[in-house]
């Protein structure tokens, strides 16, 4: 497979290593902070001291931990910004960083792409996804020849739980983009996806649906209905069992409520013509990922940079020092003064490269 080393045993070991480590800041989930900073032209080592959503969501709901945190939140589309405004929560639309990553690198399906990549509905520790794995694997194998070879891209938690075994027993290759804390998650995801012509899932709509459609990849849904079982440890999902499709319909925002039914489970497609993305599907993907909204890169860059020196001690320290001794910026003197101090160097390089950030540091520092 081009661009990706399919060593599943090594990937599972890497997942275990990440899972045993400390909890990471929310913006680092799936390496989205890395993708965002690359798009903004900011140094990789400047932390994002803000909250950030991490999925392509059709459900607009009240995240209690987000409301409890005083830091502003970065969201991917305007519906979330409007929703948080009801709670006097400051939110900024940035678009989905996955899409920024793909477009910045012009990632497309490879000329050698073939077959179908399946994304089985994923479980997390708090909410289990219940369906017959063996039946789903058999359904994938029953696809017509035009859809073969078939492979599966599994979520890290499902790998830890051994849910990949039914696929391996049937000779279906299993890949993974990695743990939620893996900074290479986005890169791995696209390295896997671009090797296939089609995408599929048994989940009505998910991040993988949006990302495949955004890349002009046909995507279809098939498989038996899914039940969610919440153990009550996720404060945003009360304990109980939920029909996946009904839950999505009931909790979607008014704009996206109809999206769930765009992908009907009508058995196995018999031809490629049946799964060509419709214009409403493409419009849905565009709305959900938010990257075609009129995003102001300069404003978002300033937001991330200002949060660094407003909300972190290290950021405040270097800002105050530089503002009190502005001559350190003349003729790149900071390169010698801050040699070996990467964050201080990054701050100085940013305010030198982007004049608006220098002004922002001055005004926020008063």
Q: Is the peptide bond before 149 cis (omega within 30 degrees of 0)?
A: yes
Q: What is the DSSP letter of 151?
A: E
Q: Tell me the mean pLDDT in the region 293-320.
A: 90
Taking phi over 0 as left and psi of -120 to 50 as alpha, with beta for the rest, 23 belongs to beta
Q: Name the band, by pLDDT with cuts 50, 70 and 90, for residue 355.
A: confident
Number of residues that make up the chain: 366
Q: In angstroms, rounded to a whole number, what is the distance separating the alpha carbons of residues 80 and 42? A: 25
Q: Which pLDDT tens digit goes with each residue over 334-353? A: 999 999 999 899 989 998 99
Q: What is residue 8's predicted lDDT score, i.e. its pLDDT?
A: 93
Q: In angstroms, rounded to a whole number, what is the distance separating the alpha carbons of residues 118 and 112? A: 18
Q: In angstroms, rounded to a whole number, what is the distance separating the alpha carbons of residues 95 and 56? A: 9
What's the longest Cα–Cα distance across the chain? Answer: 70
What single string gives the DSSP state of each residue in 58-81? SB----HHHHHS-S-EEESSHHHH
**Is residue 213 helix, strand or coil?**
helix
Task: Select, from the ranges 11-15, 146-150, 160-164, 248-252, the one with the highest average predicted confidence (pLDDT).
Answer: 146-150
Is residue 231 predicted with pLDDT exceeding 70? yes
Q: Tell me the mean pLDDT in the region 54-80.
A: 81
This prediction has a pTM of 0.91
- Asked whether the beta carbons of 52 and 285 are under 8 A apart, the reply is no
Q: How many CB atoms lie within 10 A of CB 271?
A: 10
Q: What is residue 364's predicted lDDT score, i.e. its pLDDT?
A: 67
Q: What is residue 363's predicted lDDT score, i.e. its pLDDT?
A: 76
Is residue 189 predicted with pLDDT exceeding 90? yes
Among the residue ranges 62-76, 178-192, 307-321, the one predicted with the least confidence is 62-76
> Within 13 A of 142's CA, how many CA atoms are on the CB side?
12
Q: What is the mean pLDDT of the chain?
A: 89
Is residue 1 predicted with pLDDT exceeding 70? no
Q: How many CB atoms lie within 10 A of CB 269?
A: 19
* In the chain, % of residues over pLDDT 90: 56
Contact partners, residue 235, CB within 8 Å, separation at least 6: 64, 65
Q: How many CB atoms lie within 10 A of CB 129?
A: 20
Is residue 240 predicted with pLDDT exceeding 90? no
- Asked whether the beta carbons of 60 and 42 are under 8 A apart, the reply is no
Q: Name the band, by pLDDT with cuts 50, 70 and 90, for residue 158.
A: very high
Q: In angstroms, rounded to a whole number, what is the distance separating the alpha carbons of residues 225 and 126? A: 20
Q: Name the band, by pLDDT with cuts 50, 70 and 90, for residue 3.
A: low
């Amino acid at each position: 497979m081009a661009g990706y080393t399919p060593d599943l045993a090594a990937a599972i070991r890497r997942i275990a290593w990440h899972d045993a480590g400390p909890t990471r800041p929310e913006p680092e989930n799936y390496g989205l902070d890395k993708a965002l900073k690359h798009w903004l032209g900011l140094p990789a080592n400047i932390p994002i001291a803000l909250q950030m959503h991490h999925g392509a969501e059709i459900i607009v709901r009240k995240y209690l931990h987000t409301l409890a945190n005083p830091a502003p939140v970065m969201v991917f589309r305007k519906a979330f910004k409007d929703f948080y405004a009801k709670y006097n929560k400051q939110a900024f639309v940035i678009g989905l960083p996955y899409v920024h990553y793909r477009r910045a690198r012009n990632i497309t399906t490879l000329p050698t792409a073939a077959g179908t990549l399946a994304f089985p509905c994923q479980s997390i520790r708090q909410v289990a996804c219940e369906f017959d794995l063996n039946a789903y694997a058999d359904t994938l194998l029953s696809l017509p020849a035009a859809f073969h070879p078939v492979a599966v891209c599994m979520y890290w938690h499902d790998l830890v739980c051994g849910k990949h075994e039914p696929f391996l027993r049937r000779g279906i290759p299993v890949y993974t983009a990695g743990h939620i804390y893996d900074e290479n998650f986005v890169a791995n995801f696209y390295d896997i996806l671009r090797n296939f012509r089609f995408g599929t899932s048994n989940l009505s709509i998910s991040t993988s649906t949006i990302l495949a459609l955004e890349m002009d990849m046909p995507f279809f849904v098939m498989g038996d209905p899914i039940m969610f079982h919440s153990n009550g440890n996720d404060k945003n999902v009360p304990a109980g069992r939920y029909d996946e499709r009904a839950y999505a319909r009931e909790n979607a925002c008014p704009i996206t409520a109809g999206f769930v039914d765009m992908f009907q489970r009508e058995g196995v497609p018999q031809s490629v013509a049946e799964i060509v993305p419709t214009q409403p599907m493409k419009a849905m993907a565009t709305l959900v990922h938010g990257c075609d909204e009129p995003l102001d890169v300069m404003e978002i860059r300033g937001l991330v940079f200002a949060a660094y020196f407003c909300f972190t001690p290290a950021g405040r320290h270097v800002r105050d020092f530089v503002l009190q001794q502005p001559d350190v910026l003349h003729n790149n003197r900071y390169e010698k003064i801050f040699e070996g101090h990467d964050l201080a160097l990054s701050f100085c390089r940013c305010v030198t490269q982007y004049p608006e950030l220098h002004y922002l540091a001055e005004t926020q520092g008063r």
